[in-house]
Structure 1
Amino acid sequence: MRRTGRELLPLSIRMDITSLIDIVFLLLVFFMLTSSFSAQSGVQVHLPRAVTADIRTRENLTITISSGNLLHLGERIVTLRELRERLEREAGGQRPILIRADKTAALGRVVEVWDLCRTLGITQVNIATQESGEGGF
Structure 2
Amino acid sequence: MVMRRRTMAMFFDPAGTRYGVPTWPWRMAPPHLLTRRQLAACGLRPGGQPIAGQVLWRSRRYNAPGGVRAAYLYDVRLALPKRIASPAQRAALAKALTVRRTCPECGTDAGYVLSRHLGVCLECADAWEIAS
**TM-score normalised by the chain length of structure 2:** 0.18
**Quick one: higher RCO (CA 8 Å, sep 6+), 1 or 2?**
1
Which entry has the higher C-alpha Rg, 1 or 2?
1
